[in-house]
Chains A and B, each alone.
Chain A
Amino acid sequence: MQAFQEEDYTKRFDLTLWKKLLRIAKPFHKNLFIVGFFMALCAVLDVVFPLLTSYAIDNFIAKQTTAGIPGFIAIYLGLLALQVVSIFVFLRQSGYVETGTCYTIRRLGFQKLQELPFSYYDRMPVGYLMSRLTNDTQRLADTIGWSLLDLCWGAVFLVCCSVQMFLLNWKLALVVILVLPPLALISWKFQKSILAAYRQVRKTNSQITAGFNEGINGAKTTKTLVREEMNIQEFSEVAHTMRSSSIRAATLSALFLPIVVSLGSLATAYALWKGGQDVLIGAMTLGTVNVFVSYTVQFFQPVRDIARIFAELQSSQAAAERVLSLLETEPDIVDTPEVAAVFGDNFHPKRENWPVLHGDVTFKDVSFRYKDGEQVLSHFNLEVKAGQTIALVGETGSGKSTIVNLVCRFYEPTEGSVCIDGVDYRQRSQLWLQSNLGYVLQSPHLFSGTVADNIRYGRPDATEEQVRRAAQMVNAEGFILKMEHGYDTQVGEGGNRLSTGQKQLISFARAILCDPALFVLDEATSSVDTETEQIIQHAIQTVLTGRTSFIIAHRLSTVRSADRILVIQNGKITEDGTHHELIAKRGYYYQLYTNQFQDERGLDILAGNA
């Protein structure tokens, strides 16, 4: 649970991290050089333009002549065009680098996520993984595409500016440049506290959103408990915190600009004072004073940019760490090189070498421990013949799900082995097993797309006829044809336009279309209407026939018709037999059955069925 707490940024600048990232951005190195070149050009031109003004003052105005103005215009226009072109080019190229880096990191990250085992997903909530590939990646790409280049522009500008000033008047330049270090230091400190203040605002803001969320979703319960006023009071506290932290952040920003500008104006004032004196004794031209004054005014922008980028670098580095740690995680369930050489890996299967899967499943002295150390199974043995239906019953946390996950090789045993058709499944590829596996979850998960797309999910090449046959086998065609576009109806994100029962039926059709030798079902507990319930029961029976099946069963009818019922308690099989055998035993199963019988029947009667 600690995993998704956002870390604080305490680490120092880590060069190797950025080197790794730049290596990922390798395809864009050429573009980065182009951008760097044009940005530097921009910076140089920014330094040149004040010189043009000074030239005009000294040569046309002071000398009271317009001779040479056309040439001046031509040069000015030429430089202006160059400036606009380089702005345009670096904006485009930077954007190219940014979007390209984003794309590349996301592609790598997504690919990695397809390889990582479930033990990884157990530790990382979906929201956490999402934000690695969305926000963090975006921030990194922004840093690479823009921040580093802003840095380059600022540095070139400052250097050129300083050089130019030294050339014009080194004594004056020396003093003016003295203002830079304190300016930079203050800017940096300020930017850091401003960023921290806004981070606080964002944190409070998410509390506000959470507050509204709860206020709205819990409104009905709140009424029954007469808690309105207390809720309002609690929300009011958060809202006031939001107000004060926002004002604090805004105040800091409002303070920053005046201080930096005033500090910068010291340099301007000095240039005006000393430069003016030099003009009076004829040591300097009016134009040169003008140049000094405009440089000192412009100094401030690059210093502020650089300070901001350094302040942001810390949080970008935290993002970089998180993204790289995802990219560098090694999956712990992998096909060994020997296995992959024969059967192929997850992305490049060699189907021609795959043996037929019959469906004998054996647990040989299997122990399993979760990453956090929790021991779920120890020395567990089980032998299942091909074609048998096994129902697993027992309380939550007894180990039922672990057994099923081990069968699917979503986890591997920490000790012992799981054999399929007599061979340890680690000697076959993951894809071989999973291509022979049918899987229906308690809460069925569909993907956006049409009904047909979803049924076809495990076999994209299935014909329309095969899709229909699969739907007919589980009696799903009735409701599918009743929908607006039949098989071409969009199911919505996660299938949310369909009812739970409909989703279940489609997930059965999806499983049956693959004609798997092994079938795993985590039966739903949520109630659906009676008619759908009967159709689903029928679908289950259809799917089970002729396959080795493991069912985490909740409904009595499903349990009763299994070939073998296993009662699992604390990772051990405590009862094992058919329905009749276990009823005769009068043990845990008997208790469960009699209690649940009343409940199920009662509900059936009230639903108007039976």
Chain B
Amino acid sequence: MQPNRKKPAACMLELIRQNIWCFLGAMVGTVMMVLISFATPVLLAETVDSVLGTVPSTLPDWLLQPVRALGGREFLRENLWIMGAVLVGLNLLNGVFTFFKGRLSAVASENIALTLREQLYGHLQRLPFAYHVRATTGDLIQRCTSDVETIRRFLSVQIMEVVNTLLLVTLSLMILLGKNVSITLYSMVLIPALFLFAMWFFRKVHKGFRVMDEAEGKMSAVLQENLSGVRVVRAFGQQQREVEKFDAANSDFRKKAKHLNDLLAVYWGGGDALSMLQSMITLLICVVYASRGEITVGTLIIFTTYVGQLLFPIRQLGRTLSDAGKSLISMERIQEILSTPAEPEEPDALKPDLHGDIVFDHVTFAYDQDAPVLKDMSFTIPAGKTVAVLGGTGSGKSTLMYLLQRLYEPTSGVISIGGVPLTKIDREHLRSHVGLILQEPFLYSKTIRDNVGIALRDPMQDRIVDAARVACAEGFITQSDQGWDTLVGERGVTLSGGQKQRVAIARTLLKDNHILIFDDSLSAVDTETDAQIRAALKQRQQGMTTLIISHRITTLSQADFILVLEDGRVVDQGTHAELCARPGLYQRINNIQNVLEEELNHTAVQPESEVNN
């Protein structure tokens, strides 16, 4: 379907490759940590056996040489602090490596998370308009947040954990086998069982978590519905029943949580039992061998410590492995977004002046495979004129406006401005100079000031105030508690539909518009304010071509000419006077005034009778 989509594993490797030095560093740190964790018990064993005891040392020669030079065992016995100092030294060294491993793997994984986040965000911004019309927000956000987090955790913790455990197991086996084969076998007898138990049981626990999360979700949903519907609950006097409903969900969640907890008790208890049993077996076997003199106390220390430090990572490995598979799935879900084609770059595109005539030449447009929304449309909008568009639901009037910003491309036919076909004009240039105000505008969660100045890099306060004044927005802005610094959106105030529209108009006015389009964007503003805004605009828009979608006759009548759309076609066009003279949609809209006057007269004449609706 999308041939350029990379395999998730390849993407993961690519991300690792970009941070290879951090990864290698962390890997070195891990290896060193493992090595030191092997050295510490050896140090203790040597102290017990060969310094305090009389067993000849088994350490390699290069290590013994300097000791011998100092005076050998006698010297160490008199200066036992040396052994302590070496122990502290080893721990410090281990600390240094632990720190570097921790920091480097954090840097690597955070770099990768940063890369993924920036790629995702950037790509989402560059995806075409049509993608966002169809997108399901919740799912996209899920991918951008939890899937990134899954990958980050895999790269920062899980990979190192696996390396660490494998290294521990291999080295332990090698060293211990070298010491005594049969003790080693006894010491490892329960390890596979422990691993399998952890892995198998973790799956069960995992399911328990999911069940519990679902129950919690249900409980939250009851709570949420109750709180947001509190008026309904009270108005119907249903408090008692709500309490019972919540109690059921609450109890169910408690039951599921308790069940999971009991599973965990078995999981941890069972793991502990196996681990402790293994430790006991090791100790006993060592004691038996040591009492026969076949091994030393030092070897006993080595065996018990090595086995002890193996047990926990083995238990974790079971869990990590069954968890790690998820990161590939997450990667795939992220790739799905990144491989969707963005709006193509057009390096040769033109950046003409857009003050010319707008010409639609046999333009047809259909969304995807659907029936066409615009059918063979041809008309001309002379430069600098104000044109009103009237059309019913589904007449295609909004689509027409989208085409002018190249948010969609016509299926066939050509749109041109000043003789230049739209397809040759640079998108960014076009959108920068064609102001489009949507009917239901989106405001950003910033202050009102920032929202009005949103299209500019360095908006100046006086320009912002000026634009707000033209859009009749200054009044309600300065009246609100924090004035221009009032926060809009989720964390701030909720603006009414009309207020939003006015802010949207103000922010669009600050652009350098050659063409200005109102996509029914005064619909939620009352008629008086509507007229005020248009009057103020008229003074500013010299030379600007203006398109207004409206159903208000006052707006329509003041346009230079009017296009009437029905079912994707231009069915009529002309001036107010011309259209009023012809029967049709426009005439009917114009007649409302007469109908109203008639009704008011009727009401005055017959004050006692009911007026039909």
* Subset of 13 A-B contacts with CB under 8 Å: A114-B233, A130-B220, A134-B220, A224-B438, A239-B118, A242-B113, A250-B102, A258-B95, A258-B99, A276-B83, A277-B80, A431-B239, A579-B603
A531, CB-defined interface residue at 8 Å: no
Asked whether B235 is an interface residue with its Cβ less than 8 Å from the other chain, the reply is yes
Q: Which of chain B's residues have a CB closer than 8 A to the CB of A581?
A: 607
**Complex alpha-carbon distance, A470 and B384, angstroms:** 58
A99 and B254 form a contact (CB under 8 A): yes
A273-B83, A280-B77 known; A445-B229 Cβ under 8 A: yes
Given contacts A53-B304, A57-B300, A605-B588, contact A347 B231 (CB under 8 A): no
Nearest Cβ distance between residue A400 and chain B, in whole angstroms? 15
Contact, CB under 8 Å: B229 / A258: no
Interface string of A207-239 (1 = CB under 8 A from B): 011111111111111111111101110011001
B34 within 8 A of A: no
Q: Is A381 an interface residue (CB 8 A)?
A: no
**9 extra interface residue pairs, beta carbon distance < 8 Å, beyond A100-B254, A445-B225:** A87-B269, A88-B269, A221-B441, A246-B110, A254-B101, A261-B94, A279-B52, A434-B234, A445-B232
Tell me if B358 is interfacial: C-beta within 8 Å of chain A. Answer: no
Tell me which residues across on chain B come within 8 A of A569, comparing CB atoms.
none
In the bound complex, what is the Cα–Cα distance between A598 and B111 (angstroms)?
A: 59
Whether B269 and A594, one on each chain, are in contact in the complex, defined by CB atoms closer than 8 angstroms, is no
Find residues 214-272 in chain B having any chain A CB closer than 8 Å to their own CB.
Answer: 216, 219-243, 246-247, 250-251, 253-254, 257-258, 261-262, 264-266, 268-269, 272
Task: Report chain B residues within 8 Å CB of A56.
Answer: 283, 287
Interface residue from B117, B290, B393 paired with A60 (Cβ < 8 Å): B290
Assembly CA distance A102 to B255 (angstroms): 12
A346 contacts B237, C-beta separation under 8 Å: yes
B544 interface residue per 8 A CB criterion:
no
B87 touches A (CB below 8 Å):
yes
In the complex the two chains form, is A230's CB within 8 Å of B457's CB? Answer: yes
Q: How far is the CB of A544 from chain B (nearest CB, A)?
A: 14
Against A, the Cβ 8 Å flags (1 = close, 0 = not) of B431-472 are 110001010011011000000001101000000000000000
Q: Are B444 and A212 in contact (CB under 8 A)?
A: no
The answer, yes or no, to whether B413 is at the interface (CB within 8 Å) is no
Residues of A contacting B272 with CB < 8 Å? Answer: 83-84, 87
Contact (Cβ within 8 A) A434 B604 = no
Q: Which listed residue (B96, B223, B507, B613) contacts A537, Cβ 8 A?
A: B613
The answer to whether B250 touches A212, judged by C-beta atoms less than 8 angstroms apart, is no
Kindly provide the distance from the CB of A255 to the nearest chain B CB, expressed in whole angstroms.
Answer: 6
Pair B438/A221 contact, Cβ less than 8 Å: yes
Is chain A's interface secondary structure helix, strand, loop, or mixed overall?
A: helix
A494 CB–B CB distance under 8 Å: yes
Binds B, one of A11-19, A24-32, A63-71, A154-162: A63-71
Given contacts A114-B239, A225-B511, A447-B229, contact A243 B110 (CB under 8 A): yes
Query: How far apart are the CA atoms of A265 and B85 in the complex, in Å?
Result: 10
Is B496 an interface position by the 8 A CB rule? Answer: yes
Smallest CB-CB separation from A594: which chain B residue? Answer: B596
Does B87 contact A268, Cβ atoms closer than 8 Å?
yes
Select from chain A the residue with minimum beta-carbon distance to B609: A580
B535 at the binding interface (Cβ < 8 Å): no
| Residues of B300-339 whose CB lies within 8 A of A | 300-301, 304
For residue B13, CB closer than 8 A to chain A, the reply is no
A340 to chain B, nearest CB (A): 14
| Residues of chain A lying within 8 A (CB to CB) of residue B442 | 217-218, 220-221
Cβ–Cβ contact A111 & B48, under 8 A: no
The smallest C-beta distance from A538 to any residue of chain B, in angstroms, reads 11
Asked if B579 is an interface residue, CB under 8 A from chain A, the answer is no
- Nearest CB of chain A from residue B259's CB, rounded to whole Å: 9
A222 x B588 contact (CB < 8 A): no
> Which residue of the partner chain, among B98, B221, B291, contacts A61 with CB atoms under 8 Å?
B291
The verdict on A226 contacting B455 (CB below 8 Å), with A214-B445, A434-B235, A601-B595 known, is yes
Cβ-neighbour of A219 out of B48, B96, B127, B228 (below 8 A): B127
> Which of A91, A115, A434 contacts B236 (CB under 8 A)?
A434
Query: Which residues on A sit within 8 Å (CB–CB) of B251?
Result: 103
In the complex, what distance in Å separates the CA atom of A598 from the CA atom of B265? 71
Residues on B with C-beta less than 8 A from A431 are: 237, 239
Q: How far is the CA of A345 from the CA of B122 in the complex (A)?
A: 58
Chain B residues with CB under 8 Å of A259's CB are: 95
Do the beta carbons of B250 and A460 come within 8 Å of each other? no
Which A residues are CB-close (under 8 A) to B355? none
Contact status A235-B118, CB under 8 Å: yes
A270 near B: Cβ within 8 Å? yes
| CB within 8 Å of B: which A107-138 residues | 107, 110-111, 113-115, 118, 121, 126, 129-130, 133-134
Structural contact, B88 and A262, CB atoms closer than 8 A: yes
Interface residues of B in 65-123 (CB under 8 A from A): 77, 80-81, 83-85, 87-88, 90-92, 94-96, 98-99, 101-103, 106-107, 110-111, 113-114, 117-118, 120-122
| Selected interface stretch from B3-11, B134-142, B182-190, B365-373 | B134-142
A98 touches B226 (CB 8 A): no
Which of B191-199, B273-281, B416-424 makes up part of the contact surface?
A: B273-281
Q: Report how far A286 CA is from B300 CA in the complex, Å.
A: 12
| Residues A598 and B84 in contact in the complex (CB < 8 Å), given A87-B272, A99-B257 | no
Does B362 count as interface, using CB distance less than 8 angstroms?
no
Chain B neighbourhood of A226, CB < 8 A:
428, 431-432, 455
Q: Which residues of B contact A63 (CB under 8 A)?
A: 291
B607:A580 contact, CB within 8 angstroms: yes
Q: Are B95 and A247 in contact (CB under 8 A)?
A: no
Q: Does B288 make an interface contact (CB < 8 A)?
A: yes
Q: Which partner residue on chain B sits nearest A438 by CB separation?
A: B235
Q: Which residues of A contact B140 (CB under 8 A)?
A: 212, 216
Q: Is A486 positioned at the interface, with any CB of B under 8 Å from its CB? A: no
Q: Which residues from B are CB-within-8-Å of A493?
A: 221, 225
List the B residue with the shortest CB-CB distance to A66: B291
Cα separation A553 to B393 with both chains bound (whole Å): 25
Top 5 closest A-B pairs, CB basis? A254-B102, A258-B95, A95-B261, A269-B84, A250-B106
Task: Select A457's contact among B238, B507, B528, beta carbons within 8 Å.
Answer: B238
B288 with A441: CB separation less than 8 A: no
Is A200 part of the contact surface with B, judged by Cβ < 8 Å? no
Q: Compute how far the CA of A243 lies from the CA of B116 in the bound complex, rounded to whole angstroms.
A: 12
- B377 interfacial contact with A, CB 8 Å: no
In the complex, which of the residues A133, A254, A434, A597 has the most CB atoms of chain B within 10 Å of its own CB atom? A254
A216: which B residues are within 8 A, CB to CB?
A: 124, 132, 135, 137, 140-141
